[in-house]
Amino acid sequence: MTGGTWGSLGRWARRGVTFLAAGAAIGASVRFALDMQRARARIAGRSALLESAMGRVEYLVGGGDGPPVLVVHGSGGGFDQGELLARAALDADLRWIAPSRFGYLRSTFRPGATFDDQAHAYAALLDHLQIPRVAVLALSHGGPSALTFALLHPERVSSLTLVSAGVASTKDAAQDAANVQGKALTALFQVNLLYWAMTRFFRRPFLRLMGVNGSVVDRLGPAQRALVDELVDFMNPVAPRAAGVRFDNTASLPDARIEGIEAPTLVVHAKDDLLQLHRNAEYAAAHIRGARLVSFESGGHVVLALEQERIRALVREHLRAHPA
């Protein structure tokens, strides 16, 4: 074959690669647009708004006509993640209230806000709904404001349940590594396309950032994986949640103040959680009088998915023992 022929083949090969790359980019762009359209449609027109002294509070009420439960979402969430948490952990007959925390979706974020302010916003929401007393269920970084609510408004809280929750600040190598993961997640949550691409094409590394090691991912059954996928996908679009994620990663944690909490407390955590380290659960159990700690050897930061039935039973037992 002559040099000219080889040259022509090379040019065609380069053109083919270019066309394939362009086609893949177009396909990804279309998929991104469709996924964002579906994500926005999923949350549009479903929530209500309360104008309070703490700013605008977005919320959704659902479930049955049983005792009320305030469901507090984690970082990257909103009322929609609260709804998902309620569906995963609560019996269907319970009435749940799922607010979007400061900076999430349509809830106000004000510079200088604290978890104390968020706790007062919960009280204002309950006043608006004419609910005097609730059980509280909090996931991940929903923990700090839930703890603060139980501390500042003890008369409003019949029981407190923390699942994989942040509680106290520490300084060592393990916490430094978790903080690096938190900062990486915060960066992803600033841009819709960046988060979407990471979770669409690199889900396993993303779950590692979320505090889930590979062995946990490999153990997920179909129903468990579906719940994890919902948790990840329901955080789209991330841009309306970006201010809330930044708030979560800069506001001061409750730390030793939790010693003043009187509500009966259940703490559920996995020992291999790489994002909210298990020491958070140990700290809560050691500093809240009478708190019950249930630890799982494995499950990472998605232990609720891996051990859903067991955790659901624990929550049911705890709420029935301390009714609102």
Domain ranges of the chain: 1-44, 48-173+240-321
- Low-confidence residues of the chain, pLDDT below 50? none
Q: Are 85 and 73 contacting, i.e. CB atoms less than 8 angstroms apart?
A: yes
pLDDT at 24: 53
Residue 245's SS3 state is helix
pLDDT at 281 (0 to 100): 97
φ/ψ of residue 71, rounded to 5:
-105, 120
The CB density around residue 216, as the number of other CB atoms within 10 Å, is 25
The model's pLDDT over 216-250, given as tens digits with 9 standing for 90+, comes to: 999 999 999 999 999 999 999 999 999 999 999 99
- Fold of domain 48-173+240-321: Rossmann fold (3.40.50)
Q: Tell me, yes or no, if the pTM score tops 0.85.
A: yes
- In degrees and rounded to multiples of 5, residue 87 shows phi and psi of -65, -35
Please classify residue 168 by burial: count the beta carbons closer than 10 Å to its beta carbon, then call 0-12 exposed, 13-18 middle and 19+ buried: buried
> Could you read off the pLDDT of 50-94 as tens digits, one per residue?
999 999 999 999 999 999 999 999 999 999 999 999 999 999 999
b/e burial code for range 93-111 (CB count within 10 A of at least 16 → b)? ebbbbbbbbbbbbbbbbee
Q: How far is CA 157 from the centre of its chain?
A: 21
- The predicted structure's pLDDT at residue 174: 85
